[in-house]
């Protein structure tokens, strides 16, 4: 019995052995630009776990719920980025938006492949994240998320008092103030 245990442990260890080079996502990632294969940009500080859960913002007439779901060891798409056997940690963002009590959009229960919004890390800073809209590739007006005590603050980069956070032409438009504070839902 002891031999089977030792043999099983050895097989498990060898099976889990990986040739992936690990990089801390909050370290300076300039060296990674030279690497194309066999790497994993990992969230060693567990910053995405801190985001995990539902967060809500409300004004007199609007309510926005953001749900953050960490995704660990997500594979880079080779046809887009040119990486092979490359992975990273990220955080999926789904949302629900109500205006005057009417549901405008609800993606809280959508599967991963149907979602556009992800939280991406900032180098070095473990309490700030970019909000990437993968449905609008090439648009660089990403809002920034940052922790403020127990709250989460979303700051948009537009100059007006309010602007469009998320939209689909002809279907819906989510307009929020430039800066909002979200509270964690328990």
Could you tell me whether strands 151-155 and 144-148 are parallel, antiparallel, or unpaired per DSSP bridges?
antiparallel
pLDDT by residue (tens digit) across 22-56? 888 877 656 666 677 888 989 998 989 999 999 99
The pLDDT tens digits for 133-183 are 777 655 556 788 999 999 999 998 766 778 788 877 777 888 889 899 999
DSSP-derived 3-state class of residue 158: coil
With 50 as the cut, is the pLDDT of residue 4 above it?
no
Domain membership of residue 39 as a residue range: 2-184
Q: d(Cα 140, Cα 120) in Å, to the nearest integer?
A: 13
Which among 156, 13, 34, 12 is positioned nearest to 86, based on CA atoms? Answer: 34
Structure confidence by residue, pLDDT tens digits, 121-139: 776 677 888 887 777 655 5
Distance CA 122, CA 129 (A): 6
Asked if 134 contacts 120 with a C-beta cutoff of 8 angstroms, the reply is: no
Question: Structural domain tally of the chain?
Answer: 1
């Amino acid at each position: 019995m002891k031999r089977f245990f030792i043999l099983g442990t050895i097989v498990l260890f060898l099976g889990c052995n990986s040739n992936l080079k690990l990089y801390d996502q909050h370290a300076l990632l300039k060296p990674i630009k030279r690497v194309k294969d066999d790497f994993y940009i990992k969230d060693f500080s567990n910053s995405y776990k801190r985001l995990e859960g539902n967060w809500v913002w409300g004004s007199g007439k609007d309510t926005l719920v953001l749900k953050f779901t960490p995704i660990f060891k997500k594979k880079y798409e080779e046809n887009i980025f040119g990486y092979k056997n490359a992975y990273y940690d990220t955080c999926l963002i789904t949302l629900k938006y109500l205006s005057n009590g009417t549901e405008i959009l609800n993606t809280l229960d959508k599967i991963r492949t149907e979602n556009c919004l992800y939280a991406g890390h900032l180098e070095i800073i473990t309490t700030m994240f970019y909000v990437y809209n993968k449905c609008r590739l090439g648009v660089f007006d990403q809002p920034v998320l940052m922790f403020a005590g127990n709250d989460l603050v979303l700051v948009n980069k537009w100059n007006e008092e309010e602007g469009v956070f998320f939209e689909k032409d002809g279907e819906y438009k989510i307009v929020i103030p430039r800066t909002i504070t979200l509270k964690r839902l328990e």
